[in-house]
Amino acid sequence: MSDDKQKSDHSDGLANAVRKAYEAKLEGVAPDFDATWNAAQTRFQGRKRRYRLVSAVAASIVIFSIVLNFLLPGQSQDPADSELAAMMMVSIQWEAPSDSLLPEYDFDIYQDLPEIINTTDLTRGLLL
């Protein structure tokens, strides 16, 4: 019910603003500078206030989490859990499903490449 009232109030305010603007247009009078400036300043102050509020809440949350982290005792990890995790990491080997589709090559590419002569002597060849 309050949403309908808010929509109605908003609609009434919008209708009044449009009516005033239309009347001013008929009279050929530009809107008053002070009124326009005050409306823009009010909108800016509202945005600035919301920005400050959100910043303050975010800073409070960060400070609260840091204080909470220091006040609570640290959770000591059971050595058996870390040993179990280490054993599982060693024993489990993962392969991609597509690995079985790839051919297996049994050669070393560095042994099969021809030897490149690195020289700085201009009479023996190009610099590589």
User: What integer pLDDT is reported at residue 64 of this predicted model?
Assistant: 93
Give residue-wise pLDDT tens across range 58-106: 999 999 988 888 887 666 566 677 788 888 777 777 777 887 787 776 6
23-66 confidence digits (pLDDT tens): 776 666 677 888 888 988 999 999 999 999 999 999 999 999 88
The token duo for 73 is 């005792």
Q: 60: Cβ–Cβ under 8 A, 6 or more apart, which residues?
A: none
Its pTM stands at 0.35
Q: What's the rounded Cα separation, in Å, for the pair 4 and 12?
A: 12
* Cα–Cα dist 84/68, whole Å: 30
pLDDT at residue 7 above 70? no
